[in-house]
Amino acid sequence: MTSITRTVAILLLSIGICSAAAAQDEALTPQVIQSLRESVPDDAHTRAMRNALTSASVTDIAEDRQIVADHNTKFSHKIKTKGISNQKASGRCWMFAGFNIMKPVVMNKLDLKEFEFSQVYLQFWDKLEKANCFLEHIIALRDRDLMDRQVVFLLQHPISDGGYWENFAGLVAKYGVIPKEVMAETASSENTRMMNKTLETILRKDAIELRRIHDVSGSVEEMRAAKKAMLADVYRVLVLNLGEPPAKFDWRYEVKKETDAEKDKDKDEDKNEVEQRWSPLRSFTPQSFYKEIVGLNLDDYVGLADDPIRPKGGHYEIDLTENMWDGPKMHYANVSIQVMRDVAVKTLLDNRAVYFSADVSPDQDKTKGIMARNLYDYESVYNLDLRLNKTERLLSRDSVINHGMAFIGVDLRDGKPLKWLVENSWGSERGSGGLWTMYDDWFQDNVYQVIVHRDDVPANVLKILEKPATRLPVWDPMW
């Protein structure tokens, strides 16, 4: 063996030894497994927690009983509203939350004892608009590789249920609204999984076909001509699952007329009589119903967010968050959580409900309707330090903005909020009859955005929204 050969052999052998040593460090070897076994203490806490966790839910064990004992549902200010909606097995929380800030306006304006908008009506147009938007994005990105990150995102989410305030406001402005009794929920509107799966397959197949047309002819005109036929398929599937939205409808509402017996306060309550009558029957289009009956200008509402990743005072928008090709993207003025809190209080005191977005995963009891910091003490159960600040939670994806709801009340002490009254869209069986009590520390930790009336927003904050928006990618944590 030559000296060069010997040197190479020694080098290769040393590399192999180092690689083997590295593998010992990287792999779960028997030695590592044994050390892990020995790391679990055989003490009273471990035995007690193992017995408890193998017999009951961790949330039952970890719930802080003192927080529950101190909990109350008294609020210094409530907006007059009634009725709890239920999105059921669908991702339409953003739409329900939008309607929940409009509902009190109609109920108080017409003195209604109950009212609900048709969510399925707006859901129909949202799906059709999203289909068109998806296909237009495919045309716009026709020269991108299928592994391009934006293209991959589009193909993964061609027509999801989710959305933002801007999506809701854009749909209402374009299509109007109707009462729920005019277009009621269906099995597919309340449980969207299979309808969505069908639509996703249709749109992915359409995307492949549009790209094939581009490869063959390079003609955008041909791609758009094909898109019209594709949308016809989507429209038909939506009609079959959701019904066809009405272009016109007749509507009247129940009006209470007090009798002499009801006006006589000296008489027993059970002897009071209420004569029921109806308003005149009127014909509406969805647009005229929104204009005449609702009369709320959604352009007057703006988005403020506590984005802990970026400097305060910036205006940001997130790419690919429009649901209509000609509609706005989700955007916000980045402000402190204190500004959000102050403006939300002011809006509520002006008797306007507040739309907000949050991470509802941590620290909420769905049976009691409580949202409070450290409601569940997992650290004591597992004897671990699990603390992350809001920035770390968001950047590491430990926190995700995943639900939209409405504030309809606040409990103030010396002008500062102790807790917030939340109207959810999970039905009256969850929470406290469908309502949640959010303590202010939970607001601090988990609320990321509020939608508030511009009249309640300081002028310097409104000026932030006049700046050109910085575009963020759709995979940003604030998505």
Q: Which residues carry out catalysis?
A: 93, 403, 424
CA–CA gap between residue 434 and residue 83 (Å, rounded): 9
Q: Which tokens is 132 given?
A: 């068109």
Q: Is 355 helix (H, G, I), strand (E, B) or coil?
A: strand
C-alpha 228/C-alpha 421 separation (Å) is 46
- The letter for the amino acid at 13 is L
Q: Is 305 helix (H, G, I), strand (E, B) or coil?
A: strand
**Segments of 199-322 assigned E as strands:** 249-251, 254-258, 274-278, 282-284, 301-305, 315-318
Tokens of 469: 């928006």
Judge whether 386 and 378 are in contact, CB under 8 Å. yes
User: Six-digit token pair at 257?
Assistant: 């007329």
* Bridge partner residues of 304 (DSSP): 333, 450
Q: Collapse the DSSP code of 92 into the 3-class scheme (helix H, G, I; strand E, B; otherwise coil) and give the result.
A: coil
In single-letter form, the type of residue at position 69 comes to A
CA distance 82 to 38: 58
Write the CB contacts of 34 (distance below 8 Å, at least 6 apart in sequence).
Answer: none
Q: How far apart are CA 323 and CA 328, in angstroms?
A: 8
The C-alpha atoms of residue 92 and residue 425 are separated, in whole angstroms, by 9
> What's the CA dihedral at 438, 394, 457, 455 to 10 degrees?
-70
